[in-house]
A and B are shown apart, each in its own frame.
Chain A
Amino acid sequence: MSTAVSTASPRAGSVTSGPRRRRLGSTGIVYLALVGILAVSAGLVAAQGGSFFSQGNLFYLLSQTSLLGFVAIGQTFVILCKSLDLSVGYVVAWSSLVAATTMAGDPSRIWLGVVAALAVAAGVGLVNGLVISKLRVNSFIATLGVGLIIKGYLDTQYKGPSGEIPKAFQGFGYTRIGPVPVSVIVLAVVMVLGVVLLTRTRPGYHMFAVGGNIDVARLSGIRTDRSIILAHVLCSLCAGVAGLLIAARFGTGNALVYTYGYDLNSIAAVVLGGTLLMGGRGSILGTIAGVLILASLDTVFNVLDVSPFFKDVLRGAIIIAAVAMYARRQIDPASSRARFRALGRSVGPGSGPDGGGPGSASPTSTTGKEATR
């Protein structure tokens, strides 16, 4: 009996480091979808005699990406924690107003404006996080409520555009380095920071744990409230950066920015990017792909001059189709069947602890199963 562990396993050990380790993860799928959509878009535009990849179109695509990108990166943190933030649109609007009114056209007050806008945003995130983790209010309701409060404040306080962004800071909205807008470079920096946070730091690891199973996280000694609060602060900060960017583009702050739909669009981008709405799995790279997909759709609709109403119909249909596709992949019976076969065949009455593990399963089973769920 005591020989069981040592006898049956070494064979399987030799294949675990094999080629199946390189599998197409869900992020890979999302980028495939992006490439597909870009190809189709290019084809459609070419059929009308245009070029999808013209300088103008690319610039439009990238500037669309950067605005939603900041908000969606933030949204990724909270959704990973099995939370949600519906107040981001109001945070974007509020921080644009705070920036514009604080700077008031004075170049020397740029930094003050930036700091003030981000501080307001972080404050909102802190409130969201505290209400959700300490008062145990469902995130949907909590952020909806906080969003409404901000909306009421903005509607009474700011009638029409307010404040003025100095020329120097408007560069954040318009300047390019080569073909690349500065805002996209800032987005890339934020993205890298986010990726490092999630994949290389304890707070990031703990966000996955909190979203995956909060009881498991708590039993492992993770201070789950902190993870949730941190995610919400980061989310609002990202929305604050988006607010700065929009203020720079408009040259002023505007409350009506909250009607642009950043809340639901950012959630759509995150989900399109393969992050589970139920938390615990996802990535920022996936979210960026989701944003690029939405931005490509916008661009191609613009170029093809699709009516704005039909645009929304198409966008909604594509989002549903994509998420339905992910869901199908999760319950694909063929992949689990392959695994069963491998298990049933390879395990004797008490083989080694490797019984049916991915290391010993047939190649199809691992790729199929691991990419799902």
Chain B
Amino acid sequence: MTSPTAPGGASATVAPILRLRGIGKVFFGNSVLRGIDLDVRPGEVHALVGENGAGKSTLMKIIAGVHQPDAGSMELDGAPATFASPLAAQLAGVSTVFQEFNLLPERTVAENVYLGREPRRFGIVDVRRMARDTDALLADLGLHGLASWMRVGSLSVAEQQIVEIVKAVSYDARIISMDEPTAALADQEVELLYALVQQLRDRGVAILYVSHRLKEIFDLCDTITVLKDGDLVLTTATADITPDRLVRTMVGREFAGYYPDKDPGTVPGAVKLALSDAGNTQVDGIDLEVRAGEIVALAGLQGSGRTEIAHGVFGVAPFTRGTVLLDGEPVTVASAREAVRLGIALVTEDRKAEGLALEQSISANARLVLDAVTPRSSDRRARAIPGILSSLDLVSRSKDAEVQYLSGGNQQKVVLAKWLVTDPSVIVLDEPTRGIDVGAKRAVYDLMRTLTARGVAILLISSELPEVVAMADRILVMRDGRLAGELPAGSDEEAVMALATGAGDTSEHVEVDLSALDVPVGSTVRPPRPAHSDTLQEEK
């Protein structure tokens, strides 16, 4: 359709590092990519967007050397290039940070960065040089909080991602592609990544950036390429397109409001689930109520205890203090099994690890809970599954397909079906839209509205603030394992963030002041780091 127009900004005049012409790929007779022309220029952050199944991942894998194209040509610095393996691509300066990390959790940062090419002296691994080089690399990128000796498994998800990027930089990568790098990050961690991406761009590295989050595409990217059903439909400078138009281009249809409005007929009923002063080793003093037909959001930073509340309610890590009331009756939920029996459902944060049996079929997964908890009636109740799946618009050729081959959005629909068939009255959704495309997101939101109209109580845990603000009737904000406060529907995102980070607390400001003092190495005083917003203001 549209021929690739010259990207905006200073980069327009620069010759591309990577030039793809007419790239096509066929899997099992299905053409998944056709005639892709893509130019990636140094110092450019180039967004690759499209719904799941549009071909972004395949294109990334071709660039990474995981797949070989069936048609078309690739040029690196004007010379024809073919990457037989990811390693070959990496050695040529094209690195890829996949969603599944290529890191060894039991090894240190340095051992991971130099894996497979450890520096040697007289045949012996030069441990000191490896550490020195890694630390130099970290320092060069301004990553003073990370050190070469740290065990990767002890780092946060965001930090592990950064280690991946550092590894790419250590290969002198001139193109780094990132596949949904923020999918598993909380909002405040996203900022870390932004900063690093911008720093790399300023050094002339080209970044190919796949994301579902419109906000970060517009914040971060210079150029946007839209894929749809295997075709490249648009390449444009970010400045030349609006978010609305981008969404329309991606889904190819008008989007009547990203978030479905609440049906005026849905009014919160009796209290379904109530926690009073609930706590365990992870969270403390939790008081909350969710009414029938109500969506209550739990917002907060990663690690603030949101998932831990879900685990408490669902009996995975039961509360050891306080009381849990279900329909006004005190209950003890000591295991997930009891929770299911009581009509509670938990859609977990990590659908691949905790939500699905990846090697099994759609129908087997949808029956998982029924078979386990109510084996005698499961055949009868499973008859509802086809109806539920089609009401969720699950797109799949066969119900016998292994779920590992489904897109993220379709996988999530299978997880939802698995729970809906148990007919729960309380549903806890932990990051239900993470890493799924806009179409599937919309389906999840619609489902939430339908369920609440039927009187189901929903506890929504989410790091996507727009989603929290648009969908919830009330917003509870967590901080440090406790509830920091409650906000009404439609509160602005800044208010949620302020509560989540404690930015409004005077005590935090005292700590910020303390941290401005210089503390010598090895001192026992360890001041907390300043909150970022404050620092920026000081800088200005």
Contacts and interface: CB of A to CB of B under 8 A. Distances in A.
B105 A212 contact: yes
B99 interface: no
A178 interface: no
Contacts of A202: 118, 120, 125
Contacts of B102: 213, 215-216, 219-220
Nearest to A276: B106
Given A358-B150, A360-B145, A17 B190 contact: no
Interface string A333-347: 110010111011111
B104 A13 contact: no
Interface in B256-302: 281-282, 300-302
A17 B144 CA distance: 11
Contacts of B521: 14-15, 17-18
A219 B479 CA distance: 39
B76 interface: no
The DSSP consensus for interface residues of chain B is loop
Interface stretch (B53-61, B196-204, B325-333, B432-440): B196-204
Interface of B: 86-87, 102-107, 111, 115-118, 120, 123-125, 127, 141-147, 149-151, 153-156, 158-159, 162, 187-192, 194-196, 198-199, 202, 281-282, 300-305, 317, 479-481, 497, 501-503, 515, 518-523, 526-536, 539
Interface string A344-369: 11111111111111111011001001
Interface string A261-280: 00000000000000010001
Given A212-B105, A354-B529, A348 B198 contact: no
A2 interface: yes
Nearest to B478: A344
A355 B156 contact: yes
A283 to B, nearest CB: 11
Closest 6 CB pairs of A and B: A354-B145, A350-B191, A348-B531, A13-B144, A220-B116, A4-B195
A348 B188 contact: yes
9 contacts: A222-B116, A280-B104, A280-B107, A337-B481, A344-B304, A351-B192, A352-B195, A353-B141, A355-B188
A349 B299 CA distance: 14
B192 A346 contact: no
Nearest to B525: A15
A360 B143 CA distance: 12
A315 interface: no
A254 to B, nearest CB: 39
Contacts of A357: 145-146, 150, 155-156, 159
Contacts of A369: 154
Given A219-B87, A348-B531, A349-B187, A355 B145 contact: yes
Interface in A207-232: 208-209, 212-213, 215-217, 219-222
Nearest to B220: A1
Contacts of A16: 144-145, 147
Given A4-B192, A280-B107, A348-B503, 4 more contacts: A18-B521, A213-B102, A349-B501, A354-B143
Interface residues of A, number: 72
Nearest to B192: A353
Given A201-B125, A333-B317, A359-B145, A349 B533 contact: yes
Nearest to B198: A2
B195 A347 contact: no
B188 A353 contact: no
Contact of B151 (A2, A217, A370): A370
B156 A356 contact: yes
